[in-house]
Structure 1
Amino acid sequence: MKTNALDTLGAWLLGLLWFLPLLYAVWAAFHPSAYAAHFDLTAPLTLANFAAAWEAAPFARYFVNTFLLVTMVLAAQFVLCTLAAYAFARFEFKGRDLMFMLVLLQLMIMPDVLIVENYRAMSWLGVNDTIFAIGLPYFASAFGIFLLRQTFKTVPRELEEAARVEGASRWQILMRVYVPLAKPIYIAYGLVSVSYHWNNFLWPLIITKSVNTRPITVGLQVFASSDQGIDWSVITAATLLSAAPLLIAFLLFQRQFVQSFMRAGIR
Structure 2
Amino acid sequence: MTHKLDTLGAWLLGLLWFLPLAYAVWAAFHPGAYATRFDLTAPLTLHNFVAAWQAAPFGRYFLNTFLLVTMVLAAQFILCTLAAYAFARFTFRGRDLVFMLVLLQLMIMPDVLIVENYRLMSWLGVRDTIFAVGLPYFASAFGIFLLRQTFKTVPRELEEAARVEGASRWQVLTKVYVPLARPIYVAYGLVSVSYHWNNFLWPLIITNSVESRPLTVGLQVFASTDQGIDWSIITAATLLSAAPLLIAFLLFQRQFVQSFMRAGIR
Report the TM-score when normalising by structure 1: 0.99
User: What corresponds to 2:85 in structure 1?
Assistant: 86
| Distance in 2 between residues matched to 1:266 and 1:108, nearest whole Å | 24
Amino acid at match of 1:20: L
* Distance of 1:39 and 1:236 partners within structure 2: 15
Residues 1-267 of structure 1: matches in 2 within 5 Å? 2-265=1-264
- Runs of 4 or more off by more than 4 Å in structure 1? none
- Structure 2: distance between partners of 1:127 and 1:142: 24
Name the aligned partner's letter for residue 36 of structure 1: A
Please give the per-residue CA displacement for 1:179-226, whole angstroms capped at 9, x wherever unaligned.
000001000000000000000000000000000100000000000000
**Alignment partners' CA distance in 1, 2:153 and 2:7:** 34
Cα RMSD (Å):
0.8
Matched length: 266
Give the whole-Å Cα distance in 1 for the aligned partners of 2:198 and 2:239: 13
Change (3 A) 1:266 1:198: farther
Give, in whole Å, the separation in 2 of the partners of 1:203 and 1:246.
Answer: 20
Q: Over residues 119-149 of structure 1, what are the superposed CA-to-partner deviations in whole Å (9 max), with x where a residue is unaligned?
A: 0000000000000000000000000000000
SS at match of 2:197: helix
SS in 1 for 2:205: helix
SS, match of residue 203 in structure 2:
helix
- The amino acid across from 1:248 in the alignment is I
Q: Distance in 2 between matches of 1:266 and 1:29?
A: 40
Q: Distance in 1 between matches of 2:3 and 2:152?
A: 35
User: What is the CA–CA distance in structure 2 between the aligned matches of 1:51 and 1:109, rounded to whole Å?
Assistant: 41
Q: Could you list the per-position Cα deviations for residues 39-59 of structure 1 after superposition, in whole angstroms to 9, with x for gaps in the alignment? A: 100000000000000000000
1:42-97 CA-to-partner distances (Å, cap 9, x unmatched) read: 00000000000000000000000000000000000000000000000000000000
Once the 2 structures are TM-superposed, how far is the Cα of residue 266 of structure 1 from its aligned partner?
Answer: 7.2
Q: CA deviation at 1:26?
A: 0.1
Q: Distance in 1 between matches of 2:191 and 2:224?
A: 30
SS of the residue 2:227 aligns to: coil
SS in 1 for 2:212: coil
1:38 CA drift (Å): 1.0
1:103 to partner: Cα distance: 0.2
Residue 174 of structure 1: CA displacement? 0.2
The letter for the 2-side match of 1:102 is L
Three-state SS of the structure 2 residue aligned to 1:64 is helix
Name the CA distance, whole Å, in 2 between partners of 1:157 and 1:250: 36
Q: Distance in 2 between matches of 1:250 and 1:19?
A: 15
Q: Deviations over 1:128-183 (max 9, x none)?
A: 00000000000000000000000000000000000000000000000000000000
Aligned-partner residue type, residue 193 of structure 1: S
| Unaligned 5+ runs, structure 2 | none
Quick one: distance in 2 between partners of 1:38 and 1:102? Answer: 53
User: Match for 2:182: what amino acid?
Assistant: K
Q: Which digits, 9 at most, give the CA deviation of each residue in 1:231-258, with x for residues without a partner?
A: 0000000000000000000000000000
- Sequence identity, in percent? 89
Unaligned runs of 5+ residues in structure 1 are none
